[in-house]
Structure 1
Amino acid sequence: METKYQEIMKEILNRISDGRFNPGDKLPSIRSLSDEFDCSLNTIVKAYSEMEKEHKIYSVPKSGYYLLGSRQTESRSSEEIIDFSSAGPDRWNMPYRDYQHC
């Protein structure tokens, strides 16, 4: 049996997968989700917190929660892409998940 915050997380993820939210979009406010799901503000905060731990969303203080990812407005051919990976540090020694979250 799922807890209320897990149900909310699942619904938000469903909305993301069906395209209602796109990378970089601001997610609904805690108060509006609390009203929509008829639950406490703390339940929404818990759901958003867990999603943030899973690196699906990030928060901006006094602004709200946003969906992680970037918008790709144009596709580039392989001739236009410059690969700088050989000049960078070893990616296996970097805290990749933390940088990705940022």
Structure 2
Amino acid sequence: MHDPYRSNAQIIRDLSNVFTVEGQILLLLLDGEKHAGILYKYIKASQPTISRTLSTLSLARHITSRSDPKDGRSKFYKISPEKGKIFLESINNILIGDL
């Protein structure tokens, strides 16, 4: 049920989680697999921070990776279907709440 008294402060706190490095990575991966270079280009963090976060997300099985067949060194990343669904539900709840 939608809470009409839900404060703007709570909404802002919830949205701030989306804009963490982890949240930025997951948002970029929602619409499909991305090359690591794209993630580094669009995420507002240092390369080491992004790499650590990608590693953490991989270990938690929230994302998967595969080597680029062209060079064998760089990687492509994609969000796991389960994490993608949970993440979209979270964003939905932040934006429109429980209806």
TM range (shorter): 0.3 to 0.5
Question: Higher strand fraction: Structure 1 or Structure 2?
Answer: 2
Greater RCO, 1 or 2 (C-alpha within 8 Å, sep 6+): 2
Question: Higher helix fraction: Structure 1 or Structure 2?
Answer: 2
> TM-score, normalised on structure 2?
0.43
